Structure 1
Amino acid sequence: MAPIGMVVSVEFFVICTILISVASGLTLNQPTSKPRHTKYVTSTTEGSGTLTAPSSSTNPKDNSGVAYYRLFNSKTGATCILLKTDALVEVKFRLHDLEEQADSFIPEKALIDGDCRNEDASSMTISWTGYSLVINFAKTPGGERWYISSLGLTVSPDLPAFHGIPRQGKSSIKLYHRQMLIPTPVGKSYSCKEIQVDLSTDEDDHPPPGLRGSLYLRLLQVQPFMYKGENFEAPFECKAQRAFADETAPIAVGSTLAIAVLVTVSGYGVYRYFKVKNVQYNTME
């Protein structure tokens, strides 16, 4: 009969090998980025109204297609909301049983409007030919964080891309996102390489069939409730948040798995020890 220690060691090795193989193939909901096939370029379309990029000395430019959108406080004249991004709006709908798609870059020059008189809620409206995007900001009840509370996109059906779309009730095409986005500490800006925001309809608007949309924000940096200066404060980066979330789950799962293995192997070892010892004792008798 094989020694007790050798039996337990062999069984322990087999169990650990199986668990390592299972763990190596485990995926923990790691985020995957949607590939972008559209090449970003700076739009040459000009909207009527306020120029959003005052000067190269105030807003440094590069060749990435990024534009600055700035809202001023009507009382003090200081910047209260600052947004930097290369943005694309995507609207999909069904026409003659086929899915159609219309894309529009938010141009560098657009009409900027909004309201930042309230200390706990503010909004920025970016308008360009046939489109209007409203971004609403709010603070958490304690005032520690700010976030995007909702988004609203309005599109004119008179644009060539939407000719023939069925109109029911209201003539404008409207899409929304009404869930909290990008909670960020007050006094910091939010920075992210790229995010996608899905837009949906409201049945009260009697939307056309299959209407849905997406807002793509590349090289995003945004900050509302500004009071210290004209430029962004220290960034709160989304990459750091994803890394924290992605690393915490494997550590927690790995620790739980290790404890389970230890308890299982220890219990099985004790069981085998007493069972073999009992067999040897009975054999000796």
Structure 2
Amino acid sequence: MYKETLVGYLQCLVICSIVSYASSLTLANQVTSKPRHTKYSSSTAIPGSGSLVTPANQPVTPAPTDVSYYRVRDSKGITCILLKTDALIEVNFKSHIGEEQGDTYIPEKATVEGSCTDEDEATMRILWPGYSLQFDFAKTPGGERWYIENVVMIVSTDIPFYHNIRSHGNVIRLYHDKMLLPTPVGKSYGCEETIITLLPNIDDTPPEDLRGTVYLRKLQLQSFMYKGKSFGPIFDCNSAKRFRDETAPIAVGSTLAIAVLGTVTGYGIFRYLKIKKVQYNNME
């Protein structure tokens, strides 16, 4: 009896050790696991101002612990853009003391502005102390899909962490101007984590090695919503990836087929004209 109890105890100890070790591993495709240690000011942007507000000397509030909702409403109060995410912002740059990185979370009660009066274009702007993050949405020419056309982030150098780059102006601007998240109209884009890289415009004379990263974790996003205040069916990011992966071979195959068809057709016309010319000369 004693031996059986000892064996059972040892088996349990081995299993617990294996589980503990496995849970400590970080997989390559795992969601960013940076802990929520960032603090932000409890002050908010002035609604409707469209400008950045310098963080005030007020008690700090811990960042939200779960996803937050941000929505833009049209003139009738109907939700037309809806975003759900747990978002982390990082800004990297080089100063006189070396490589630096500032980070923050988009607070739960950030000010949201935007416009969705146009059927084919829409804008969402999220403001919180010292930051502004703007998403510009558009539709594909046929109107079958919506996508993010531009992303613009503005960061105030009045934030103490960015005082080392204040010589470059009162704010720094970062952009992403390539198509993002193409999604069928009427559906919402969903992904466990979407990463957007932002870069400066060289004309802005930015600080050296300036770049930004937006981590949209537990993301669900939909624009051009006019039928309800909740998300439509999810278009999973894995489906979007498969769509891109399948589109490339189809495009290459179609191009090759057209090239081969053009070559064969051209050769056929050449042969026809040559034979006709020979027959004509023989007749003479």
Normalised to the residue count of structure 2, the TM-score between the two structures is: 0.66
After superposition, residues 6-25 of structure 1 pair within 5 angstroms as none
State how far apart, in whole Å, the 1-side matches of 2:154 and 2:186 are: 30
Q: What is the match of residue 178 of structure 1?
A: 177
Q: What is the match of residue 45 of structure 2?
A: 48
Maintained 8 Å contact 2:158/2:166: no
Q: What is the match of residue 73 of structure 1?
A: 74
The amino acid across from 2:192 in the alignment is K
Maintained 8 Å contact 1:42/1:66: no
CA 248–118 in structure 1, closer or farther in 2 if over 3 Å, else same: closer
CA 139–248 in structure 1, closer or farther in 2 if over 3 Å, else same: closer
Q: What is the match of residue 32 of structure 2?
A: 36
Task: Say which is worse superposed, 174-183 or 64-73, in terms of deviation.
Answer: 64-73
Maintained 8 Å contact 1:133/1:154: yes
Maintained 8 Å contact 1:175/1:199: yes
The amino acid across from 1:67 in the alignment is S
State how far apart, in whole Å, the 1-side matches of 2:234 and 2:245 are: 20
State how far apart, in whole Å, the 1-side matches of 2:244 and 2:136 are: 26
CA 37–99 in structure 1, closer or farther in 2 if over 3 Å, else same: farther
State how far apart, in whole Å, the 2-side matches of 1:153 and 1:71 are: 18
State how far apart, in whole Å, the 2-side matches of 1:185 and 1:43 are: 37
The amino acid across from 2:45 in the alignment is S
State how far apart, in whole Å, the 2-side matches of 1:125 and 1:238 are: 23
- Identity score, percent: 50
Q: What is the match of residue 86 of structure 1?
A: 86
Q: What is the match of residue 202 of structure 2?
A: 203
- Deviation at 1:248? 9.6
- 3-state SS, counterpart of residue 151 of structure 2: strand
State how far apart, in whole Å, the 2-side matches of 1:71 and 1:42 are: 26
Unaligned runs of 5+ in 1: 1-31, 51-62, 251-285
Instruction: Write out per-residue CA displacement over residues 108-140 of structure 1, whole angstroms, 9 at most, x where no aligned residue.
Output: 001111111111000000000100001000000
- Deviation at 1:39? 1.8
1:234 aligns with 2:230: no
CA 86–41 in structure 1, closer or farther in 2 if over 3 Å, else same: farther
After superposition, residues 127-166 of structure 1 pair within 5 angstroms as 127-165=127-165
State how far apart, in whole Å, the 1-side matches of 2:37 and 2:79 are: 27
Q: What is the match of residue 98 of structure 2?
A: 98
Maintained 8 Å contact 1:40/1:86: no
- 3-state SS, counterpart of residue 149 of structure 1: strand
- 3-state SS, counterpart of residue 164 of structure 1: helix
- Deviation at 1:239? 2.1
Maintained 8 Å contact 1:45/1:109: no
Unaligned runs of 5+ in 2: 1-27, 48-63, 250-284
1:118 aligns with 2:118: yes
The amino acid across from 2:167 in the alignment is R
State how far apart, in whole Å, the 2-side matches of 1:146 and 1:164 are: 39
Q: What is the match of residue 220 of structure 1?
A: 219
- Deviation at 1:97? 5.0
Maintained 8 Å contact 1:41/1:65: no
State how far apart, in whole Å, the 1-side matches of 2:71 and 2:189 are: 15
Maintained 8 Å contact 2:191/2:218: yes
Q: How many residues align?
A: 205
State how far apart, in whole Å, the 2-side matches of 1:126 and 1:143 are: 26
Maintained 8 Å contact 1:120/1:139: yes
Instruction: Write out per-residue CA displacement over residues 81-130 of structure 1, whole angstroms, 9 at most, x where no aligned residue.
Output: 00000001100010115100000100000111111111100000000010
Maintained 8 Å contact 1:43/1:108: no
- Deviation at 1:77? 1.1
- Deviation at 1:166? 5.0
State how far apart, in whole Å, the 2-side matches of 1:199 and 1:89 are: 10
1:190 aligns with 2:195: no
- 3-state SS, counterpart of residue 167 of structure 2: coil
Maintained 8 Å contact 2:31/2:192: no
- Deviation at 1:49? 4.9
State how far apart, in whole Å, the 1-side matches of 2:151 and 2:234 are: 22
Aligned-pair Cα RMSD in Å: 2.5
